Structure 1
Amino acid sequence: MTARIPEETDVLVVGGGPTGLLLANLLGSMGVKTTLVERNETTVQEPRAVSIDDESLRALQAAGLAETVGAITVKGYGSIYLGPDGRRFAEVKPHVKEYGFDKRNAFEQPVFEATLRQALLRHPSVATVFGAELADFRQDSDHVLADITISGQNRTLRARYMVAADGGRSAVRKALNIPLEGSTFREPWLIVDLHSTRNRCFHTEVFCDPRRSVITLPGPGGIRRYEFKLNPGETTEQAEEESFARRLLNEVSPDGDEPIRRQKVYTFHARIAARWRQGRIFLAGDAAHLTPPFAGQGMNSGLRDAHNLAWKLDEALRMADPEDLLDSYEAERKPHAWLMIELALRMGKIMMPASVPRGKLIRMGFRFLGLYGPARDYFAQMKYKPKPKFSAGLIRPAPELPDAGAIGRMIPQPIVTALDRQQILLDTLLPDRPVVLVFSEAPERWVDAEMQERLQKLGCAVIGLTPEWVNPVSAPFPIVRDSSRFFSEKPFRDCLDRALLLRRDRYVAAIEPVRSIAGLIPMITRLTEPPDNRLTPSFAADEELRSKAI
């Protein structure tokens, strides 16, 4: 699988963790000439992240990997919150698949990374080089020059853009003198991964005990993780002794004698890079943000980075002036990444009550909320998790309109029914280019042949979507019915008889009434370069390959 380092590439990805691997897979699916370098000889061999969410699986779907990754996950688990007496006081068991997938899924990071690395073999435009370290780099207005060391020899690679996905201790971020803003947790935690378990609970268990907070998480293939908060006076050396872990396991589980796979103390961080872009170099994943684990969003935030950045780099390679497009990466991703950090901090306060009275107040509050259906549903269905939404970036806000709440949001992914009664997930129908989604009882009335041809010349597709109570009809463009009814919920129910301009990452860039679809054209030109106007890449990789990917 290891390839030699080419002399030129469109995008250099530094780091072969989940973020870098997904980014390379997305770029490869777009036909972008990409080189991924990773200093380690293999993908990670020890368990780290253990949970993948629905937004991440949608990003993997865009790379053609949803089914492959789905086969190595345990789908749809939840969380049970327990007090010191072992009584449950709250549950999170989401079942609504708003984005097409279960909201919480368990996996093994070593298997996940190996799967993503293997998937890169599908893309002849991607060179994957493990055991190669970035020694130095410099950039000018046109390219990045990277000095890479492999097998004791130095190679220089010329790239149009470089993405640093090289982890929380990112050498690239440090070399660029980009500071991290935020804090480091004072509370260290002991992570114990087991090869097998006698704990038959399908869900995560959270022991909210001021004496010692404990989290236990299920995994595929009969494995399990335990996370124990260390108390004052307990040292890392003491906590990493096997007898210490055995004692803690016996206190909360039947797993005191199960074989230990890994036992390690971590100190968690809540930090974010001050800048995510410097010239032609971008930060992504842990290089850009460090998230406490309490919401399971660290790795998932990195996968969102990859999904946001990949299509923008692809478009930038063909644009005469891509600055607006590229600047939107930080403008969109940084605020949302910080919201996820804040969510983890809030959940940490529930999981780690600072005192016995505070723990009682938390439990009483949840039991009181459980008496009110909407409040109980808000927590159980994970509605507290910030929605993927941008307030700035590559969108056209319209705050005065009733449908404005949908602008900047990722659209739901319903199961849709086609004219032949076939049912598929919506993204299966959407091509990898901007889409005008006409949401109406009769989408065919609003897009004539002239308008459809005009949009296609701009590089934009047209798809019709009817609400759940209206059957689709035959038309010059595909029309499907929203069988899952997600577009019948706010804010998208206000978009009936509207044309939604979808970006390649399925976010709503702009909205127009169906009578004035031409009003979307200025925004379309910000998202993509018309096929006839696209620049020839300065590093002409393989035009035949590129044509197949369009």
Structure 2
Amino acid sequence: MDPVIIVGAGPVGLALALALARQEVPSVVLDEGPGKDEQRLARTVVLQEDTAALLERLSGVPLTEGGYRWTGWRSMRRKQTVRQVRFGEIGPDGPDGSAREAARGPRDAAEDTVEGSAGLPPLHIPQHVLTTALRDAIAEERLVKVAVESRVDAIEQEASGVTAHTRGPKSTWWRGSYLVGCDGPRSTVRKLQDIRFPGRTAVERHAVAALRVELPWPGEALLHRMPPWRTSGPSGGEVTARPLDDGVWRLDWLLPPGKDLVTPELLVTRVRETLAGWSGGATPPYDLLDTGVHTVHHRLARRWRVGRVFLAGDAAHLLGALGTQGLDEGLRDADNLAWKLALAWHHGPREALLNSYQAERRAVVAARLRAADQALPLLRGGKGLRSYVPGSGRGHEALLADGHLGRGPLGAPGAYTDSPLMAPHTASEAPIDTLPGAQVVDVQVTAEDGTFVPLRDRLGRGALLVVLIAPGTGVWERKHWVSAGIMPRLAAAVSALPHSAELLVAESYPGAAAHTVLLVRPDGHLVTALNGVRPADLYAAAEAALGGAKEQPDSTAATAASH
């Protein structure tokens, strides 16, 4: 069987290659560049909890070593702090060892503070650090080949596979089973497949600077809307600050609509006035390390699959206004597609399963873009939000915080509630706090070898996961209860499923009663929750999650019909 061809060696393409390798599928990554990334501190990414965990699982590297998790989030309007979120799962000393109270910084007597708490904070990391970690992992991976200076200029498909031609020093033809275009906004793959890419250009534009400086709120990310030193224009001079390691910060200034040139003098002026405004009048010492201009576009490809060719990441969608992160969605594309391609590579294609990639992922991204398009005129035009959030008194800052923190319609991970892979409804369904199609909660489970591991550690291996909720089992060794109670019957039901599955046991799960059985896809989305051991319902749900019963070859079908 030929490898999967991945066009593009950005974070999405590299992550997809590693995700396929984890499921014993070989791939070749066609990289039009030299095989390394320019070090740019002004080019960073923010990863939500699920995508950061995915990358750590694939790279085998704790990304916090090269990135930074915020100790808190502060949203300010002029001089008042109107929203402050503390992250409650990073320990009392914060991620960098600094005391939590010290991270609060000075409080202004005029502050109007609304505090909340949150779980694990987003991870802020330079993109070159992220890609380096992925490249290092690929260098040790026998199933991934990277071809540098290889730019695709032709793609041909037939029933048995796909062929891509690259130009450059290593001009050649590459044969593959499938091809995935992860080659960015100007995707050659998308253009060669004649796929339209409609949307909006320059939805937002930001001036960006990376600098080393001490700010009054160490470790906290900051959104300052309409600061008093910048009141002109519809944006009010909105500025965002996100901490990095080693005292480095990335600052973003929202620019007014238009194509005005961002000169070095303008950037230095914005740096100085912003730092002075935050520090009480005098500009503190700082080192300007890198600058740039970041333009946000909103686009969505009409199709994400043409035969054996797929699109993922920026080749399929562009988003990023109001604090949302396009890379998050690109990584979720890779996670969604990897297990489906792996199943097709090992066991033959299930067309319904392969088609579900576009159905699921395009719907989620389209919903995110719709939410941003609805909010943009309200947030940038200064109007009220009651038409957007009926019956709510939520302000601009709260909605913006959702985008930055990965919450709500702007930022929360999407659920595949309308997926063609949804399990049929049965009387044995058990209500839990996770809806079918949504991501499961990362609870601790006991694996088949008796070890205690996070549930997320068992994802991405190509197998379905069956999780039994059994309070009290955590205090006993697995050998003492694996053959007791309902376990033998459940183990037999799992072994009879139409695809390989791993049986796990958890002490508890949010909203789940004892003896609830969860069926989870390889990408961590819930298929169904059943009340006890229901072999027939479990089998039907697993079959639905795989796209339905596998199609029989014509000859087999004809033979069956003749009998």
Q: Answer with 131-140 or 502-511: which moved more.
A: 502-511
Over 3 Å counting, the alpha-carbon distance change for 1:78 and 1:397 in structure 2 is: farther
Partner of 1:40: 33
8 Å CA contact retained: 2:67, 2:125: yes
TM-superposed CA distance for 1:115, in Å, is 1.0
Residue type of the alignment partner of 2:190: R
- Aligned partner (choices 297, 320, 324) of residue 292 of structure 1: 320
Partner of 2:422: 395
Partner of 2:236: 211
Q: Which runs of 5+ in 2 are unaligned?
A: 91-117, 227-234, 277-282, 474-481, 554-563
Partner of 2:560: none
- Aligned partner (choices 327, 337, 345) of residue 317 of structure 1: 345
User: Are 2:75 and 1:81 equivalent residues in the alignment?
Assistant: yes
1:136-535 mapped onto 2 (5 Å cutoff)? 136-151=154-169, 153-194=170-211, 196-201=212-217, 202-209=219-226, 210-231=235-256, 235-236=260-261, 239=262, 241-254=263-276, 258-345=286-373, 353-355=380-382, 365-366=393-394, 383-384=407-408, 385-391=411-417, 392-398=419-425, 403=431, 406-416=435-445, 424-428=453-457, 432-441=462-471, 444-448=484-488, 451-452=491-492, 455=495, 458-465=498-505, 480-482=506-508, 487-489=509-511, 493=512, 496-525=514-543
8 Å CA contact retained: 2:426, 2:537: no
8 Å CA contact retained: 1:90, 1:366: no
Q: Secondary structure at the match of 1:43?
A: coil
User: Residues 76-134 of structure 1, C-alpha deviation per residue, up to 9 Å, x if partnerless?
Assistant: 444311112x211112444469xx98241111111111110111022111101221111
Over 3 Å counting, the alpha-carbon distance change for 1:437 and 1:74 in structure 2 is: same
Aligned-residue RMSD, C-alpha? 3.8
Partner of 2:14: 21
Over 3 Å counting, the alpha-carbon distance change for 1:231 and 1:369 in structure 2 is: closer
1:528-543 mapped onto 2 (5 Å cutoff)? none
Displaced runs of 4 or more, over 6 A: 367-370, 377-381, 417-422
Partner of 2:476: none
TM-superposed CA distance for 1:402, in Å, is 5.5
Q: Distance in 1 between matches of 2:214 and 2:37?
A: 26
8 Å CA contact retained: 2:465, 2:504: no
TM-superposed CA distance for 1:488, in Å, is 2.6
8 Å CA contact retained: 1:192, 1:227: yes
Residue type of the alignment partner of 1:390: Y
User: Residues 408-448 of structure 1, C-alpha deviation per residue, up to 9 Å, x if partnerless?
Assistant: 12110023578999753223356641122122448953342
**TM-score relative to the length of structure 2:** 0.76
User: Residues 355-387 of structure 1, C-alpha deviation per residue, up to 9 Å, x if partnerless?
Assistant: 4x769x99x9458999xxxx9x99998652434
Residue type of the alignment partner of 2:510: S
Q: Distance in 2 between matches of 1:368 and 1:17?
A: 33
Q: Secondary structure at the match of 1:192?
A: strand
Q: Answer with 71-80 or 397-406: which moved more.
A: 397-406
Partner of 1:72: 66
TM-superposed CA distance for 1:322, in Å, is 1.6
Partner of 1:59: 54
8 Å CA contact retained: 2:467, 2:504: yes
Q: Distance in 2 between matches of 1:286 and 1:156?
A: 25
Q: Distance in 1 between matches of 2:56 and 2:186?
A: 29
8 Å CA contact retained: 1:434, 1:461: yes
TM-superposed CA distance for 1:40, in Å, is 1.1
Residue type of the alignment partner of 1:179: R
TM-superposed CA distance for 1:395, in Å, is 2.5
User: Residues 455-482 of structure 1, C-alpha deviation per residue, up to 9 Å, x if partnerless?
Assistant: 16744335343xxxxxxxxxxxxxx423
Q: Distance in 2 between matches of 1:230 and 1:397?
A: 49
8 Å CA contact retained: 1:294, 1:345: no
TM-superposed CA distance for 1:329, in Å, is 0.6
Q: Distance in 1 between matches of 2:451 and 2:25?
A: 33
Q: Answer with 257-266 or 206-215: which moved more.
A: 257-266
Q: Distance in 2 between matches of 1:29 and 1:301?
A: 20
Identical residues among aligned pairs (%): 22
Over 3 Å counting, the alpha-carbon distance change for 1:346 and 1:79 in structure 2 is: farther
User: Residues 293-352 of structure 1, C-alpha deviation per residue, up to 9 Å, x if partnerless?
Assistant: 4334211111111111111111111233421111111111112122333455567568x5
Q: Secondary structure at the match of 1:177?
A: coil
User: Residues 504-543 of structure 1, C-alpha deviation per residue, up to 9 Å, x if partnerless?
Assistant: 11212233332413322234345569xxx999xxxxxxxx
Q: Answer with 199-208 or 415-424: which moved more.
A: 415-424
Residue type of the alignment partner of 1:63: L
8 Å CA contact retained: 2:203, 2:321: no
Q: Which runs of 5+ in 1 are unaligned?
A: 1-7, 466-479, 536-550
Partner of 2:559: none
TM-superposed CA distance for 1:141, in Å, is 1.7
Over 3 Å counting, the alpha-carbon distance change for 1:383 and 1:242 in structure 2 is: closer
Q: Distance in 1 between matches of 2:369 and 2:85?
A: 19
Residue type of the alignment partner of 2:237: R
Q: Answer with 386-395 or 277-286: which moved more.
A: 386-395
User: Residues 158-211 of structure 1, C-alpha deviation per residue, up to 9 Å, x if partnerless?
Assistant: 1000000000111111221211233224543212223x2222532221121143
Partner of 2:98: none
User: Are 2:15 and 1:31 equivalent residues in the alignment?
Assistant: no
Q: Distance in 1 between matches of 2:342 and 2:447?
A: 31
Q: Secondary structure at the match of 1:448?
A: helix
TM-superposed CA distance for 1:12, in Å, is 0.4
User: Residues 204-263 of structure 1, C-alpha deviation per residue, up to 9 Å, x if partnerless?
Assistant: 211211431211221222221111122357712xx1x22111111122215786343333
**TM-score relative to the length of structure 1:** 0.78
Q: Secondary structure at the match of 2:128?
A: helix
Q: Distance in 2 between matches of 1:162 and 1:518?
A: 36
8 Å CA contact retained: 1:219, 1:225: yes
8 Å CA contact retained: 2:45, 2:327: no
Residue type of the alignment partner of 2:224: F
Over 3 Å counting, the alpha-carbon distance change for 1:397 and 1:90 in structure 2 is: farther
User: Residues 1-23 of structure 1, C-alpha deviation per residue, up to 9 Å, x if partnerless?
Assistant: xxxxxxx8420000000100100
Over 3 Å counting, the alpha-carbon distance change for 1:273 and 1:94 in structure 2 is: farther
Residue type of the alignment partner of 1:227: D
Partner of 1:474: none
Q: Secondary structure at the match of 2:138?
A: helix
Q: Secondary structure at the match of 2:256?
A: coil
Q: Distance in 1 between matches of 2:523 and 2:137?
A: 20
